[in-house]
């Protein structure tokens, strides 16, 4: 199908995203899209990975005898795991069979702006229509995809999936598993509960049903003596997951933007909404059973939670291991010293509103229009959280490094696209606009906060 066919004019339609707030793609969007699509060519020896994604409603079984009316990619929750290699081109044709418009955001990908899947860079894909995303895979890591339209509803109903990009120099472990975490709020009839209300608006929507790969509290297995690489994605709307594997030690290998410099041994790791972590799990002894839990995490919500079970890990009989976890994984050059002078402050705050109760704002404004950023000019931003709640800050299209949190150095250097902002804190980040002009955004990845205005958009310009 041609670009022209996909991009025909929808200007007569009303696009609903966050309430009455409408972002529109620029006039030149069609031409920019065509250029981006045509210029995405694989490196020599690499290929075009073609994927068909159909967004459609199906009955999805989260547990034996428990069926939920879900919105899915290709009839499954999560959507299919999409896999490619660095240097490949990913081409995804999205067909919308939902009763409302959608679009797909490729979370964490350094792609051209017209492929970012937001309402700022493309016309939404109307029911019955298709749209093709095509971009080159530049970075190895664990990414994910999800709609950026009516996202509080579309993600909750099941529209999300993992996207894995492999590099040449990856640690070779015994086996790999992808764990996509989510929670689901069901009503008395066992269906997706209605949306909205003050608690949901304030806390973000959390549910009492915990899913891993679309199943309620499933069991995983690992062979005794083996070490596996787990790629974990937090796809929940608002839930923070302080991931524990029975209290056992595991090694962090990578975060949002791929491998870190050296493995870090921990017995828990925090995944804010939108976060990913790659970990080396094991070895364990035969017969062990470990609880994969989210430990209690207080983020100053109205509704509180204790430790909660996501899954169980059962250790089977022993198998030989050939896993090697190298002591050095890669080198990450620092973008800037922690003393670098910030050139922008992004302040996540709340304001009381007579009409809406609470507004979630950036520098005092809902859906802030921020200053442009020039390609090649290092960005050092102080990202401030003025509130008493945690907020996960997400930047589209570019990885950043955390330079400091309240003046303290982070425990390790990494590339991130999500960082949790603790209450009343300042997180200094650095990032480089490395090209790819166009409309970009940052926002809180608690989807209800994003929808309520905790986002800013800006142009990257030459
Ligand atoms: Cu938030």
pLDDT value at residue 21: 55
Taking the C-alpha atoms of residue 350 and residue 448, their distance in angstroms, rounded to an integer, is 13
Q: What is the phi-psi region of residue 197: left when phi exceeds 0, alpha when psi lies from -120 to 50, beta otherwise?
A: left
Is residue 194 within 8 A of residue 188, CB to CB? The reply is no
- What's the pTM value of the predicted model, to 2 decimals? 0.94
Nearest to 72 by CA among 60, 62, 81: 60
- The alpha carbon of 392 and the centre of ligand 1 are apart by a number of angstroms equal to 6
State the pLDDT at residue 23.
67
Measured between alpha carbons, how far apart are the two ends of the chain, in Å? 31
Per-10-residue mean pLDDT, the chain, length 462: 36 39 71 94 98 98 97 98 98 98 98 96 96 98 98 98 96 97 97 94 96 98 98 98 98 98 98 98 98 96 93 98 97 94 97 86 96 98 98 98 97 97 98 96 98 96 95
pLDDT at 29: 82
28-47 as b/e: b if 16+ CB within 10 A: ebbebbeebbeebebeeebe
Residues within 5 Å of ion ligand 1, judged at the Cβ atom: 391, 444, 446, 449
Alpha carbon of 271 to ligand 1 centroid (Å): 14
Question: Helix, strand or coil for residue 187?
Answer: coil
445 C-alpha to ligand 1 centroid (Å): 6
| Confidence (pLDDT) at 86 | 98
In our burial notation (b when 16+ CB lie closer than 10 A, e otherwise), range 302-315 reads eeebeebebbbbeb
Q: What pLDDT is recorded for position 7?
A: 36
Residue count of the chain, please give it: 462
Q: How far is the CA of 450 from the centre of ligand 1 (A)?
A: 7
- How far is the centre of ligand 1, averaged over its atoms, from the C-alpha of 449 (Å)? 5
In angstroms, what is the span from residue 432 Cα to ligand 1's centroid? 24
Distance CA 265, CA 284 (A): 15
How many whole angstroms from 308 Cα to the centroid of ligand 1? Answer: 22
**pLDDT attached to residue 22:** 57
Q: Rounded distance, CA 359 to CA 454, Å?
A: 8
At 226 the three-state DSSP class reads: coil
Alpha-helical regions (H) of 92-165: 151-156
């Amino acid at each position: 199908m041609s670009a022209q066919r996909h991009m025909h004019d929808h200007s007569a339609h009303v696009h609903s995203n966050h309430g009455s707030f409408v972002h529109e793609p620029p006039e030149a969007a069609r031409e920019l899209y065509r250029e981006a699509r045509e210029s995405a060519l694989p490196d020599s020896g690499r290929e075009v990975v073609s994927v068909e994604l159909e967004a459609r409603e199906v009955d999805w079984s989260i547990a034996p005898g428990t069926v939920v009316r879900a919105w899915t990619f290709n009839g499954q929750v999560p959507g299919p795991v999409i896999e490619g290699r660095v240097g490949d081109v990913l081409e995804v044709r999205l067909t919308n069979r939902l009763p409302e418009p959608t679009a797909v955001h490729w979370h964490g990908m350094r792609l051209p702006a017209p492929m970012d899947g937001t309402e700022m860079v493309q016309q939404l894909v109307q029911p019955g229509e298709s749209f093709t995303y095509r971009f080159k895979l530049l970075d190895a890591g664990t990414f994910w995809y999800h709609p950026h339209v009516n996202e509080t509803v579309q993600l909750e109903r099941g529209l999300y999936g993992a996207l894995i990009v492999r590099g040449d120099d990856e640690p070779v472990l015994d086996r790999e598993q992808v764990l996509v975490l989510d929670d689901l709020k069901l009503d008395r009839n066992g269906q997706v509960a209605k949306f909205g209300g003050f608690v949901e608006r304030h806390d973000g929507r959390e549910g009492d049903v915990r899913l891993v790969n679309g199943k309620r509290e499933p069991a995983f297995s690992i062979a005794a003596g083996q070490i596996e690489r787990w790629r974990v994605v937090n796809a929940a709307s608002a839930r923070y997951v302080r991931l524990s594997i029975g209290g056992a030690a595991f090694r962090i290998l990578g975060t949002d933007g791929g491998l870190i410099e050296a493995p870090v041994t921990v017995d828990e790791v925090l995944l804010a909404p939108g976060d990913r972590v790659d970990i080396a799990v094991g070895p364990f002894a035969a017969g062990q059973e470990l609880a994969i839990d989210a430990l209690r995490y207080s983020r100053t919500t109205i509704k509180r939670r204790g430790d909660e079970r996501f899954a169980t890990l059962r250790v089977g009989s022993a198998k030989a291991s050939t896993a090697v976890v190298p002591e050095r994984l890669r080198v990450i050059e620092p973008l800037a010293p922690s003393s670098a002078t910030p050139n922008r402050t992004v302040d996540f705050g709340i304001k009381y509103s007579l009409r809406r109760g609470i507004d979630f704002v950036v520098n005092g404004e809902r859906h802030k229009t921020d200053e442009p950023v020039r390609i090649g000019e290092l960005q050092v931003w102080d990202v401030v959280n003025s509130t008493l709640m945690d907020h996960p800050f997400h930047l589209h299209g570019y990885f950043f490094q955390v330079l400091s949190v309240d003046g303290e150095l982070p425990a390790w250097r990494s590339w991130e696209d999500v960082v949790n902002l603790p209450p009343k804190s300042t997180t200094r980040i650095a990032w480089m606009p490395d090209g790819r002009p166009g409309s970009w955004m940052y926002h809180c990845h608690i989807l209800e906060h994003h929808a309520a205005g905790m986002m800013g958009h800006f142009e990257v310009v030459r």
